[in-house]
């Protein structure tokens, strides 16, 4: 059917479908799989899902991580954002990191339904993953080559101008007399998949959490 429809029409049709259907349609062809998995389409589908709901009935969904003693494992569920959290309204989602050697993943942040997770432990991390639990897809980002002891903070956002997801890492590398300043800032664009060093001006000293909560929107990465 895609051979007889303009690309923009096909995109608009697919963007109106629920995530469960999109998962199935990724198997139609390689071109459909690439399209549905692209940052541009994910952003468009998310926006369409929000606009399709009446303003007075829109609700947020919350992902909850808890430890199940009975199952001896972490359990992830999705709930409607209200005060009751009824069990019959929750949706259990598959945890995709059972084969990992790490016993702990920290949820760094979320953007458009995509979770950024890092196996940070004692200030260092071996890997960072992007996970969309609703379409059951994950992307493992390349490991940084930094060998020195360091502390860092991660931030994950969607670049509207370039239709791309970007992960930003700001790291303080330890020197002989403490952590070196200014911190090293690196950017990983999902469309490229590699880390590159940010060439713009970086404040020499800053409180990490304050930097990202107050300053992140002022830099064009």
pLDDT for the residue 215: 31
Report yes or no on 213 lying in a domain.
yes
Of the residues 44, 68, 95, the one at which a domain ends: 95
Domain match, 116 and 209 both: yes
Confidence tier at 159 by pLDDT (50, 70, 90): confident
Indicate the number of domains in the chain.
3
Where does residue 57 fall: left (phi above 0), alpha (psi -120 to 50 degrees), or beta otherwise? alpha
In a domain, 138, yes or no: yes
Q: Which of 55, 56, 16 is nearest to 36 (CA)?
A: 16
Residue ranges making up the domain that contains 15: 7-55
User: Distance between CA atoms of 213 and 204, rounded to whole angstroms?
Assistant: 17
- For residues 123 and 204, membership in a common domain is answered with yes
| Within-domain flag for 1 | no
Residue 133 located in a structural domain: yes
pLDDT at 214: 32
pLDDT computed for residue 110 by the predictor? 79
Report if pTM > 0.75: no
The string of pLDDT tens digits covering residues 172-210 is: 777 777 667 777 788 888 877 788 888 777 776 654 543
Residues 74 and 111 in one domain: no
Of these ranges, 56-65, 135-144, 154-163, the one predicted with the greatest mean pLDDT is: 154-163
Residue 144 predicted with pLDDT over 50: yes
pLDDT given for residue 216 in this prediction = 34
> What value does the mean pLDDT of the chain take?
67
How do residues 23-76 score in pLDDT, each as one tens digit? Answer: 788 888 888 888 877 767 776 776 666 566 554 544 556 666 666 666 556 666
């Amino acid at each position: 059917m895609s051979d007889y429809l303009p690309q923009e029409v096909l995109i608009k049709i697919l963007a109106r479908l629920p995530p469960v259907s999109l998962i199935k349609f990724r198997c139609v062809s390689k071109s459909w799989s690439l399209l549905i998995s692209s940052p541009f389409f994910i952003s468009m589908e998310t926006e369409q899902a929000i606009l399709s709901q009446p303003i007075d009935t829109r609700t947020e969904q919350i992902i909850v991580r808890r430890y199940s003693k009975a199952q001896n494992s972490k359990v992830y569920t999705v709930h409607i954002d209200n005060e009751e959290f009824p069990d019959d309204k929750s949706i259990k989602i598959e945890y995709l990191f059972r084969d990992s050697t790490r016993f702990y993943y920290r949820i760094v942040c979320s953007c458009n339904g995509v979770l950024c997770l890092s196996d940070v432990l004692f200030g260092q991390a071996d890997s960072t993953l992007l996970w969309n639990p609703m379409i059951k897809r994950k992307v493992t980002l390349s490991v940084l080559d930094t060998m020195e002891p360091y502390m860092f903070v991660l931030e994950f956002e969607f670049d509207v101008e370039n239709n791309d997801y970007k992960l930003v890492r700001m790291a303080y590398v330890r020197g002989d007399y403490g952590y070196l300043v200014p911190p090293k800032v690196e950017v990983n664009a999902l469309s490229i998949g590699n880390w590159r060093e940010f060439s713009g001006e970086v404040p020499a000293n800053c409180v990490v959490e304050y930097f990202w909560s107050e300053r992140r929107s002022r830099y064009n990465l």
